[in-house]
Structure formats: C-alpha cells, structure tokens
Structure 1
C-alpha cells in the first residue's frame, strides 16, 4: 500500500481527518512489516504480573518467537531468564505424520501377516515409522484441540516462550514495558505488572484443555491478586472467607492488562463479575465501572461466611489472550477527583472521593511554566504506605470554579476569556450555564473523560434570544490512544461583539453526581500540534540508516511547517528529511547512527529524544513540542492507535552489515520532481570498482509512477535519476504541484550468474545494503 498517499493528503474537515488517520496507520503498519520482516510479535503474557520480592514463571504467547533469545524490560529491579520455546503441531505437520503412520502400519501389517504374526501395536507402528513419543504426544494434543468446537485456531497465539521473572524486594510498583528481541527485530510491548499484594494463579488446566469449570479456587488471605485466563465458554470461580463489616473492593483488570485484542470483535476482553454467598445467592454484580469497561465492585460484608466471585466474558468468548488480574481486599480505590486540574506555577488542594481512603485531600504544587507538560501525574499515600495515583491537567489561563446555582440564563455565571472553569454536573439533569463576555472567535473545550471523570459532556452555545449558534457532543481527539468513546466536547464559533452569549454544559447521558467533574476552557483559537514517532524501539547496527515515521496531530487550524531535531543526541546521530510540510499529517524520514557507536551491552538501549519547532512564527518564537515515542497498534483488523510509551530506545546490534556502495554527495538539496524532465541526485561511489549496471535503488513507500535508477552522468560522475510517470500527475491521482515529502531509497546489488547446463536460467542474487538518508522532494509543475 502507498503511505505517501496519506503523506500528501489534506485534512479538510473532522471526518476527513479521522478517515485519513486510519488510512495512514493501516499503510504505516504495512510499511513497518515490510521494513522489519517477520519479527517477534507478542499477544499476551500469563500471568501478567509478579509480586514484588518474588519469582514467578510467565508464559508469553504470540508469533515468530522461536529466535527470540533476549529481552528488554523497562525500569529497575526486574530480571528475566528465558526458559524455553514451544509451538503446537500444525495441521500440515499432523497430516504428514498421520500419513507416515498409516503407510507404516500397512507395510508392517503385511510383513507380520506373511510371518503369521498378530496385528502390530501402536508403539510398534510408531517405531517402524520413526515417529517419536514426543511426536505422538503432540499429535494427541492436536486431535483434542481440533475436536473442541469452541476453539478457533489462531496462529497469532500459537507460539509461547516461558520466562522466569524475578522482582527485587525494593522494585517500584506499577507497569513495566516488556519486549522480546531476536537479534534483528524487537517485539511490540506487553505490560508486566509489579504488584504490592500477594499473588496467586488459577489452577492450571489439564494438559489437554477441556474448557469446562469443575472446581472452585480457594483464596486463603486478603488482599490477593488472582491471575487467570478465560477460555471459550468458561467461567472462573474463586471462593474466599470474609468477616462482617469488611469493606471489600473487587477489581478486575482485563483491558488494563491487554488494552486491545488485535483480531477480536469486540476488540477487547469484556469481563463480567458476579459475587454470590455460599448458598449461590447473588449479592453483587458488575460489568463495568463508570465509563470504564473493566468491572469493579464495592461490597460491605453483611455477615461472616464464604463468598464466591465469578469472572467471565460477557459474550462467553475466550482464548489464551483473555488474561485478567482480579484483586480482592480492603484496598483504596479512587472514584473521582476535584478539581481535575490547576494553573501552572500554583498550589491547588485536590479532593479525592473513593473507597477505603484514609486521606482524601492533598495540596499539589504544579510544574513550572517553562515545561510544556499538559498532564501531571500525582501520587497520594494512604494508610499502610499504599499509594494511589491520578492525572492532573495543567492549565495556562486564569481559573475559576463554577458557582451554583447557575442552571438557567437568569442565574448564569459571567465569564470572561481566556478562562478555565472547574465544575460539576451535580445531579441527573443538571445543566451549568455561563454568560460569555466579549466577541470574536471562541473555542470552548471540555476535559473530563480524558482525565477519568465519567461525564459525557455536551456543549450548546446560544445568543441572547436563545438561538443556537454552535453545538457539540463528542469530539475525536487523535492524541488519546485506545479511546473508544471520545466523549469530551469541543466547539468553535464567532461571537458578535456587544451581544450576550450563553454556553450550556450538561451530561449527554443525563447522569450526574459528585464524580461528574469537568474542566471547561474558553479561549481564542490557539493553533498548536502534537507529535508521535514510531517505531518506539529500534535495533540497528553502528553506521546504519533506519526509517522512522512521524505523525502530527494539528489543532485549531495549525498549518505551519514543523522542523524536527534530536535533543542532545549521541555524537554522530542525526535525522534526515526532518521537515514536516504544513499540509501533511505524517511523513517518513530516516535516523542515522554514527559508525563509531558502541554495541549495546546486554541490549541496554540508547534513549533518544526529539522535538519539533514550528517555522511559521517569528524567528526563535516557534511552537516547540516533544515527539512522543509510540507504538502503532492495530485492533480488530481496522482500528489503529498510536499508543505512547515511556522511552524512544535504540539498541545497537553487534552484527556487521555490507558497506553501502555509494553515498549522497554532501549538500544535496531537495529533489525537484516534474514530468518534463528527470531529477538527478548526485552520488559518490565508496569503491573504485563501482559498477552502476548492477546497482539498484528502490523507492520505499512509493508514490504511484515514481521510479529511480542509478546512472552515469555526462560528466563522468554518477547519480540517481528519479522519473515521474506522466499519467500520475496528468490524472491528478496522488500528487499535485507544490506537494512536498521525502523519498526513502533502499539500495541493493543484483548479480545473475551465467547459465550452465545444470542451471540454464539462474535466478538473480541480491545483496541488500539498506537505506540512504531521506531526500526531501517537491513537485514543481504539471508538464
């Protein structure tokens, strides 16, 4: 597929942005697959975590894992040992062995009949056929799995790698990024959870999985984290003893463990919890919590006794990657915070609501204005040293609190702009009304759902007579990865000067309460942007040039060029093709490693940082934004997400590669592409025996109709000749005059041996050298 179609697309409205982004991501996913080959892909980890100070065995499931012999885990205090690799027998392997056994049985039967012997046993047939006991065992496993009507074969889950994970006693709690490395490729990340509470695993199924629950598990102490997997049609049950008056929180982490399932519809494990007493009477039920899909229960125990918690998928689906962590105990749990943010360079008292909280207020000192970080992570300590975390939005305008009553136009609260309002929808049907002072362009945007509030906001703007000027319910924010319901509102309008306008905010679902908090920001349009860079983890050799992709999410009509640069990079590291044109939302460029870069010891990564600065402002006054490393993840065959990760890592591999046969001549400018003539990019051979007839360049992610060849120039030098097919521009299929982007060129040598009697038509032998630095291009005219 053609990634440059999306590179050169223009986002003209909200829907176009959404569709364009999906196309870009689909194409980019294909591009990375082509660039990297079949590297390891991880689908699940079971169990998905380990208790601090303990060791546990974890099974990673996925595809192309056989050659993965190293790993990467973020943070300190976690060590990993790879124990073994396993892949179940395929249909082809089973069929071949079965045929071999049948043929051996026929031959052996004939021999024994000739000697007057008895029919051969299965063991004798297997020995005669050369089939081992292990192969017979795998064949039996295959038969059992194949006969189960609930099981659907899935090659993305077939392979497993078993690890031994050891967590230090002082390791930090929380999620760690875990990846496998096979030398040439690094896998997608999975989350490994380092837990505070005692952890147990559900009893393993029998060797031949039956998928039928027969025995309840017994939880001996609380709090406990239970690790489990739900298979097709399965309901897992766990029994525990509880005392009268206990205030139990029962929390299922399913989407929190694996936020998406790559090929499932719906695209995640939808867990359901059901709590019963020992007689089987249901005492509590949950299939979600607020807007979150993972269920949570709060249960005040009415009497001493045995209780049973059940967990299953809402549709009774199941397979190996339906992994969960079920926490049971008198643990703190946050249900809401207020306010959801605070001004930069300030102190703010935050009120916390929830269950089992020993501390529900804290004063936060926000970050300096010099740091453009819109979200601050806060941590509050509860009794026993247990920490709870929550996000806090940092604002750059004056802030006020909504003043009740403000439910009608008569009671409307007067607001000048720019201003951020911290408010609540206090009860079902509540509506807050604000009188807007002043005219001109206005942007009204809500931050609620993105900060953990259950509010599904709805904004309505009217004039003094009550005529609707603007309305918005949901606004898609592409910076919010893995969001399935973009419930926060955002509208723009032009207000007539000297007239009153009224802005109404309410909950679209007609719910309300103390947890339904919001931040409503009113300001003039503030053109801005966010950046994401993929892949987030790179394996490369010293001196190698690797392709990267940078995505820009533009806001409030931002259409300036953005220039990217590495921040304090290691010596010799650089990026090429580092300008994103103002009408482009995604561009491919290259990262070059210094030839002198040392090989990473124990796969210890080099951490890079990159930032963008807009070119449209006054000199030295452009908007600076970080390029956040992200993983390009696909869900349910169509939905793609740019999921931010902690670090942008480069692992330097020690294996050498072929030396590039030529380089670009220093000072090479952007290629001017047109139909009327070829564009020539000068190159300099790196050896005396350079032969252009066997050297080839390939346009990676090509525009339709663009091709490139290595040629000798009239002056005796060498160049890459770039040709644009006439029909491509004439029919206005993909490129237009003025369009800009980057050419990514891979280089290879191809030699065909002379025909011989043994091989009259020999196949060409290709030697790949890798990529040249990205070359900017501009389309200059139609003819």
Structure 2
C-alpha cells in the first residue's frame, strides 16, 4: 500500500548532487549526432518491467511518438508480443477548446430552455448539445485530476503509452531482454525487460489498498516473489508478508537495473531506499544501497514468527511513471564477493564465492583460449533447486600470483617481477598491501576491482626505498564502463629508474576492508590499445540509402594510431563509408550504405550486423582487432552522456521506397582537401539530363561549424559540390587545425517554390529530402 508524503523542496540538495556527482565524461558530439536523426518512437519505461517464465502479462510502455508503432523487436527466443492499444492523455489545447465549447453550449442551451419554460440543462444535455462525446468528457476529467496534482510535473516524454501482451515460454532464457518498437520509418531505443523464475505480482493502485493486505497469505505461500511497482511523487510503497523464525531473507530492489539512467532527474536514476519493520512498526533493517551499487539489498535473518512490512521509496521522495522497480523477497542466493576476480587465459581456476543462501561456493572454471579477445567472461554457478548465480571473471594474459600476508611494509613486501598480475585482498579497515617491483623502465599498474563487482575504492602509490612518493593515482576514468558513475579503479603510468628499488602500495580510499574487498593489479609495460562503440544500435534504412552512424574509440595507454573499421562477414549489399577513425580524434561520423538491390524482409526482421576495428598501417594482426560494440547513447541528469552497450546492432530494411538521390559522387571523389583560405570541390554525376542545380541543395550535417556546401556548375559544364570554409568560424569554434582529418556528412534536398498567385502571393518553399550521401573523408590542408 502507499503513503503520501507532503511535497518537499529538494532543489538545493539536488543542485549539490549535480555538482558533486562523479560521472563518465560526456560525449557531447553524440547529442549533435542524434539531432540529425528523424523523430522516431522513444521508450521511457515499461511497467511492469518483466514477466515470469511460462506466463503472460500485460505491460504498459511509456514514451513519446509511439502512435504509429505497429511492430516490435525483442532479443532472444521464447517470447512473443502482441500490441494491444495506444493512448495519449488530452493536451491542454484540446481541453481548453472543449471546455470553451461546453461553456458556450451551456449558455445557449440554457437560454433556449428558459424561453420554453424549462429547467436548467444538465451536464449530459450540455455535452450532447455541444457535440462532446462521453469519451471526451472522461478524458477531460483525467486532465483535471492530473492538472490539480501539485506534485505532478508534466513531461511530454512520458505521456504516450502502448499496451502490449507479453507471453513467455516455460523454457525461455532467464535474464534481460532488449525490446524496441518499430513504426515503419524508424526503430526505438531499447528497454530492458526481465524474464524471471519467481512468481510475479504488481502493486495495487492506491484505491485498492485493502486488497494488498488481503493477499498477504498468497505472497507468503509463494516466496520468493517479485513485486513490480512504480513510485509517484511523495509516495512510499509498503508490502506486508509473513515470515517464520530462522528464515534467511534476501530483499533486493532493482531500480537502476531496470532503467540505468534518467535524462532529466538528479542524480540521474531512481535512487531507491528500503526499510523493513516488524508488525509494530519498529525498524529492523534499512538499506539505501549495497556496497558501491545504487540499488539497495537487505539480508535479514528472521528472529521470530510474525508479519513484517517492507517499504520502498525514492531517497528524495521524487517519483513519476518511469520510477519503476522490481522488488524480490525470499530465501534466494545472492553473491557478495568472489576471489580471485580473474584467471589467466587458457587455464583452469577455482573461484571462491561468498554470499547469502549459497549451497555451493566453489566453481572450477576453464578460461578461453589465447586467440580470442574477450577481457571478461561471464561465469554461472548452479545452486540448490537449479537456481543459477552469475558473476564476471577477468581474463589475463600475464603470469599470475596471489598476495602473501603479511605484506604491509617495505620490510615485508612481496617481490614481483614484470609482467605479472596480482590477486589480492584488503583484509581489514586500514589494510595496505605492499609489493616490491624488480627492474626498471616504463610501467603501467592497473587495478581491476570495482568494474568486476568488488567494493574496493583503490588507491595506488609508488614509492622509492626511502618511502618518497614517485607516482600516485586514486580514480581513473574508464569510458568503457558506461554504467559506472564513480570510476574507483586506479591506473598508474610511470617510468622506473633502473638499479633502484620501488614499492607499489594498494589501499582502500574509504579505509574499510574485508573478505569482499578483492582486487587484481596488472603490472606491465604500456600496451597501447583501444575499444570501439557504435551508435545508434538500431537502424531502419531504405534500399539505396546511406544512414549516418557514429563510431567512438576509447584509447588506452597512449594508442594514437588510425583505426580502420569494417563489417564482419556482412550480407551482400552493406558498405561502410568513411571507415577510418583518425589518430587525432576519438569519434567520427560514418555512413552505413544499403544497396538499391537489397531485398526487403516483409516481416521486418532485423539483420544483425557486426563491425570490428584494426590499426591502419604499422602494427596489425589479431592482437589488436577489436569489436565495435553496439551502444545506446543515454543522458544522465541533464548533462552527462554514457554509451551503454546493448546486445545487437540491428538493421531493418524498410520496404517503402525513398526519393532517389539526384546525383552520385564522381569516380575521382574519394576524399577532399579543405584549405582554410580557398574553396574546394567534390565532383558529382547527375542522374538525369533534367538535373537542375538551382533547386538541389546540400547541407553539411553533424554539424560542422564554418563549412558550407552548395551544388554548382563548373566551367567545363560538369557539376560539383562547392565547399566553402569560413576561417573565422573555424578559428572561433576551435574545431579544426591544419592536418586534422575526419568525415563530411552531406544531406541533400530539393526545394521548390510554387509561382505566386493572387490567393497566395508569397508561397512557402516545399522541401523534399533525399537523405545522406556516403560519408566523405576530408583533411584540413597544412598550406595556408
């Protein structure tokens, strides 16, 4: 059941969170890239956010631009979906218009009935007289109720809903599934739906509080249970259950696990808080997080038989439709720590698992072979009743050792040669492990702890034999870890003087410790490398069309070379243009081109493409081939952007033919050099003799400030795209300097203005878009 709290002003607290929150650096250019996409369906939340295996359930999808969605895509097998209906609440303009219509009708009808000696008209009679339907009256009442709510903030990004029916096979794979809606012209961002093994229920609406209490016995009989709910402004949701003495309950809230980032909320997600009370209202347990994770978890050993009440709310008493949660209650297995956090490639290792309600705490793991680049593998361990638990395991490429206690001082330091990977623990609050490093030269020491689930907030110090600090690092921002907002793993790069002793110290910045505070330290010479991300993760393209994509390089240990990307065993008809990321940049816009001969799949089944990168020139080979991981660009708290990996890179071929591009690049147009003081031309070939450059226009997309384009006829009678560089804009924007390289994305459209008439003396130009040309590589000339 729900309790309403009075509205509170958290603006000052919200500002402090915004100022002091630590987040992944934003990809501002991605926001520009998204602006060039056409508007398509956007999904904000799903409620409930999952379904029990072997069952059917109705789910409400909330978002924007959902009206024309008539198809969907969901990852994996064993799930079917039926779209039931679409709904959007009445807008202010429509309400105002109908309200005025009713008032005017009431005045007129009252006058008519009075002249006939009748009584004042009823509301129903006024509505009939005004031509306002019962459905419209009902929607007007909903509008009034929403408008009167002082805590409700209108948000058009949440207004529309699509109701679907989801049916899950009894043997469907458990875990997350990516769901997207398709409207024929575009495909939405993904939402994560969860397929669970436990019985699932929904919170009852506030008007049905009594029914929640009435169903307590049902919940007890079927523990574990997953409760699906939404928190609205000022609400606290409460659920009662009966527990017996000796039960070892895990109460786990999934909020960020459901929706990792909220674009317009501080701190950028639903910050759930759990509170457990006994039947008399006395608090017996509380959690606002678990270790470093934002979602709270409780472990509660029941002291006596009785009724207990679990409460869930937002830490700031915020709430709205997308504050969705899944609350699991029961004697379920839960992992609190593993050791070691990794193992060498092509090896066998026994992993020790710590946690609650575990019937099995050791797992023998055989790691992958050396010729596969996968830095982290997912391990699964089966507990009693067939329940599986999962955890990540890092794969290393160097010899590995375990820390040997005591090793807290220079005198007791454990001697380590390079390269080496160390597996260790910060055993107690204030503990510090010290390692003596032999040899000199360049050294990179990198901690993997937080990214592998350890609560350790590492600090690395390098000292000489006299204890003088040579190098230090606390937090190192790793852009590949898109769901981490506190990058607590350390990364230290330095040069060791030969012939001298050096000592590496690792400790916890928060001064706590314990068996779960595990770590891995990789000691090696710099290994320049990179990882790749590609957005958008979902594309709808027409045959013959070029679609913009964005490819990001996360460079590591000084890797500054060009990266050439390519499709991996693609179906016929796909091509990447502008497929090089220059060494001077971390992001470039490219295009995915689809052949005009590409056949359309009538079922709109997505084609799953794969992309990979490899250094261009110089060092090559399988050791530096990296997959381009499809990602979704998510905004957090109005300002930060995160590239959150998703499962597949999907392309849907749209059967509706688009306008044919009026020209193609000439055979010699493979790249263009831009001089900061001169014009440049890209030769083009018109597709017909009736080509008219007066009505064909070209825009430089992305946008790139200071560069404009237009179609011109050359002195030789041919045609070209003329590029003009505004030196002042380039210099002011500081986007480019001589020698810089990248890609031009050029959009083409036709604009025709009808002849003026007496009725329309100034007609508005009519624009017809042709889409994008293939990405054109450019270089800023070094000559001025």
TM-score scaled to structure 2, two decimals? 0.94
SS of structure 2 residue aligned to 1:123: helix
| 8 Å CA contact 2:24, 2:477 repeated in 1 | no
Distance in 1 (alpha carbons) for counterparts of 2:227 and 2:391: 24
Change (3 A) 1:735 1:45: same
Question: Where in structure 1 are there 5+ consecutive unaligned residues?
Answer: 1-17
| 8 Å CA contact 1:730, 1:782 repeated in 2 | no
1:189 aligned partner: 190
| 8 Å CA contact 2:24, 2:640 repeated in 1 | no
Pick which of 574-583 and 734-743 moved more. 734-743
Distance in 2 (alpha carbons) for counterparts of 1:43 and 1:78: 21
Distance in 2 (alpha carbons) for counterparts of 1:697 and 1:664: 13
Q: Please, what is the CA RMSD of the aligned residues?
A: 1.8
1:458 aligned partner: 459
2:630 aligned partner: 629
1:596 aligned partner: 597
| 8 Å CA contact 1:615, 1:622 repeated in 2 | no
1:314 aligned partner: 315
1:61 aligned partner: 62
2:229 aligned partner: 228
1:362 aligns with 2:360: no
1:346 aligned partner: 347
Change (3 A) 1:622 1:274: closer
Pick which of 751-760 and 416-425 moved more. 751-760
Deviation at 1:401, TM superposition (A): 0.4
Distance in 1 (alpha carbons) for counterparts of 2:629 and 2:622: 21
2:610 aligned partner: 609
1:683 aligned partner: 684
Distance in 2 (alpha carbons) for counterparts of 1:370 and 1:180: 38
Change (3 A) 1:128 1:483: same
Q: How is 1:335-414 mapped onto 2 (pairs within 5 angstroms)?
A: 335-414=336-415
| TM-superposition CA deviations, 1:747-782 (whole Å, max 9, x none) | 111122221212211222222111111110111145
1:638 aligned partner: 639
Change (3 A) 1:445 1:618: closer
1:30 aligned partner: 32
Distance in 1 (alpha carbons) for counterparts of 2:403 and 2:87: 60
2:522 aligned partner: 521
SS of structure 2 residue aligned to 1:658: coil
2:419 aligned partner: 418
Distance in 2 (alpha carbons) for counterparts of 1:308 and 1:565: 56
| 8 Å CA contact 1:203, 1:217 repeated in 2 | no
Q: How is 1:609-758 mapped onto 2 (pairs within 5 angstroms)?
A: 609-618=610-619, 620=621, 623-728=624-729, 733-758=734-759
| 8 Å CA contact 1:212, 1:234 repeated in 2 | no
| 8 Å CA contact 1:213, 1:234 repeated in 2 | no
1:770 aligned partner: 771
Change (3 A) 1:324 1:726: closer
Distance in 2 (alpha carbons) for counterparts of 1:448 and 1:726: 48
Distance in 2 (alpha carbons) for counterparts of 1:666 and 1:574: 17
SS of structure 1 residue aligned to 2:745: strand
| 8 Å CA contact 1:698, 1:707 repeated in 2 | yes
1:580 aligned partner: 581
2:257 aligned partner: 256
Change (3 A) 1:412 1:703: same
| TM-superposition CA deviations, 1:489-527 (whole Å, max 9, x none) | 111111111000111101111111110000011111111
Change (3 A) 1:313 1:284: same
SS of structure 2 residue aligned to 1:657: coil
| 8 Å CA contact 1:599, 1:654 repeated in 2 | yes
Deviation at 1:245, TM superposition (A): 1.5
Deviation at 1:636, TM superposition (A): 1.4
| TM-superposition CA deviations, 1:204-228 (whole Å, max 9, x none) | 3449xxx999968622421111111
Distance in 1 (alpha carbons) for counterparts of 2:482 and 2:439: 36
| 8 Å CA contact 1:614, 1:622 repeated in 2 | no
Distance in 1 (alpha carbons) for counterparts of 2:473 and 2:70: 51
| TM-superposition CA deviations, 1:169-228 (whole Å, max 9, x none) | 110000000011111111111111000011111113449xxx999968622421111111
Q: Which runs of 4+ in 1 moved over 6 A?
A: 211-214
Distance in 2 (alpha carbons) for counterparts of 1:160 and 1:237: 26
SS of structure 2 residue aligned to 1:727: helix
Change (3 A) 1:728 1:278: closer
Distance in 1 (alpha carbons) for counterparts of 2:56 and 2:731: 65
1:536 aligned partner: 537
2:161 aligned partner: 160
Distance in 1 (alpha carbons) for counterparts of 2:401 and 2:568: 37
| TM-superposition CA deviations, 1:360-390 (whole Å, max 9, x none) | 1111111111111101011111111111110
TM-score scaled to structure 1, two decimals? 0.94
Change (3 A) 1:456 1:622: closer
| 8 Å CA contact 2:240, 2:308 repeated in 1 | yes
SS of structure 2 residue aligned to 1:84: strand
Deviation at 1:554, TM superposition (A): 0.9
| 8 Å CA contact 2:380, 2:390 repeated in 1 | yes
Deviation at 1:31, TM superposition (A): 2.7
Deviation at 1:676, TM superposition (A): 3.9
Change (3 A) 1:212 1:592: farther
Question: Where in structure 2 are there 5+ consecutive unaligned residues?
Answer: 1-21
SS of structure 2 residue aligned to 1:692: coil
Change (3 A) 1:126 1:782: farther
| 8 Å CA contact 1:213, 1:236 repeated in 2 | no
| 8 Å CA contact 1:217, 1:238 repeated in 2 | no
| TM-superposition CA deviations, 1:89-127 (whole Å, max 9, x none) | 122221111111111111112222222221111111111
1:6 aligned partner: none
1:243 aligns with 2:244: yes
Deviation at 1:400, TM superposition (A): 0.4
Distance in 1 (alpha carbons) for counterparts of 2:623 and 2:563: 9
Distance in 1 (alpha carbons) for counterparts of 2:105 and 2:733: 65
Distance in 2 (alpha carbons) for counterparts of 1:376 and 1:116: 85
| 8 Å CA contact 2:212, 2:239 repeated in 1 | no
2:550 aligned partner: 549
| 8 Å CA contact 1:253, 1:324 repeated in 2 | yes
Deviation at 1:425, TM superposition (A): 0.4
2:4 aligned partner: none
SS of structure 2 residue aligned to 1:603: coil
Q: How is 1:140-155 mapped onto 2 (pairs within 5 angstroms)?
A: 140-155=141-156
